[in-house]
Amino acid sequence: MISLISFQDASVWLNREDRSRVSVGTNFWINKVADLNKPAHPAFKDIKNNLQRLPMTDPLEYPEALMILAKRFMEQDWHLEAIDYLNDASNLYRTAKQEHRQATALWMLSIAERKANNDSRAHAHASQARKLFDGLRKYRVERRYQNSVAHSLADEVADNQTRITWYLDKLHLMSLELTSMPEEPYYEWLNQFSGSAFSAVSLQLAADVQDAIHREDYRSVEHLLDELLQSTRQTSPAEEEANAIAFSALIHYEFNHLYQATDLLQDAIAQYTFGSHPKAVMRWMLGMMSYGLTKDNREASVSCQKAIEEMEALARQADQNNQQPKKEWYQVRVGWMKEVLIKLMDQRKNSATTAVVVR
C-alpha cells in the first residue's frame, strides 16, 4: 500500500477547527512522563490514572492529552500502547460529538494499527475517519449555500470555503491510501450496486471468523474458514463461493500468508462472470495484495491494468444505460486507481534507486 499521510501530519489535524484544550500544567506533566524509557517501566501503567487525577475543567482536555501521549509512544515504536490511548481518545470524542477530532483520532489509530500489523482494524478505522470527514465537508458545502442565500460577510464565506478546500485535500489523500489497501475493494466496493452474495449462514460464519481473530483464537479461524468454503462449495451459487474464497484470501493476507492469499484470490476471480463488477473489483484487490511480491511486479501491474480497463468499460456501460451516479462512481474510483498505480511505481523506482546507492 502507499502511505501519503504520516502520523505527524495527521496529529496536526486535531486542532484545525478549534484551539488546543491542553493546559500548561497538563502539558508540563505530559513532558515529564514521556521520558519513561519503556512500557515495562513500573510507573507506565499508572499514566492514565494519574492523568485523570489532574485538575481539568475542559472535558476535551483529557482525550487531547491521550493523543499527545500516543504521539510520543509512536515516536518510540510503542504501537500497542499508542493504539490503547487512541482508542480511548476516539471513543471520548465520539461521546462528546466532536466529529473532526474523532476522525483525526481514528485516522491516527489506523496508522498505529498498520504498524502493529492489524490491517483489518486499520482499514475499518481509516474508512470511518474518511466518512466522518466527508460528512463535515458536506456540512460546510451546505453552509456555503446558506451563506450565499443570506448574503453573509465576505470573511465568513472565505473561511467556510477554506475549510471545504482543506477537507477536500485530506479526503483525496485518504481515498488514495484506502484504495491501495486490499480491504477497501472487498469491504467497500464489492457490494456497491447489489446486496451481499453471502447467505445468512455465510454472513454469520464470516462474522465468527472476525470474532475469533479478535479473540486471537487462531485455531478456530482456520476451522471456520474451512467451514465457510465447504458450505458455499456444496450449496451456493458461483458468486457466493467466489466471495467466500475472496474472504478467505483476505484473511490469509492479513496473517501475512501472501502467496496463499494471492493463489486463493486468483481462484475467486476465475469464478466471476467476465466483465462483471465483482471481477473488476477483485482484480484490483489482487493487484494491491501482490504488489511487492516479485521484483518487477509484472503480474500485479497486469492485474491492476485489467481492473482499470474493466471499470472503465463498466462506466461506459452505465453511461449507455443512463445510470449517471453509477458512471460517476466508477470514474472516481478509476481516477484513484490510476493515481495509486503511478505512486506505487514511483515508490518502487525510488526503493530501487536507494538500494543501488546503498550498495
For residue 241, CA distances in Å to 227, 270, 271, 359 come to 12, 11, 8, 48
Q: What pLDDT sits at residue 139?
A: 92
- The position carrying cell 463461493 is 241
pLDDT digits (tens, 9 = 90+) for 233-278: 876 688 999 999 999 999 999 999 999 999 999 999 999 999 999 9
Q: What pLDDT sits at residue 279?
A: 97
Give the integer Cα–Cα distance in Å for 65 and 70. 9
Give the integer Cα–Cα distance in Å for 86 and 118. 15
Opening angle at CA 123, ends 61 and 85, nearest 5? 25
Q: What pLDDT sits at residue 17?
A: 85
pLDDT digits (tens, 9 = 90+) for 22-70: 999 888 888 877 666 555 555 566 788 778 888 888 999 999 999 999 9
Q: How many CB atoms lie within 10 A of CB 48?
A: 16
Low-confidence ranges of the chain (pLDDT < 70): 34-45, 145, 147-153, 235-236, 350-359
Q: What pLDDT sits at residue 44?
A: 63
Task: Record the pTM.
Answer: 0.90
- The position carrying cell 515504536 is 77
Contact 250, 182 (CB under 8 A): yes
Q: What pLDDT sits at residue 48?
A: 80
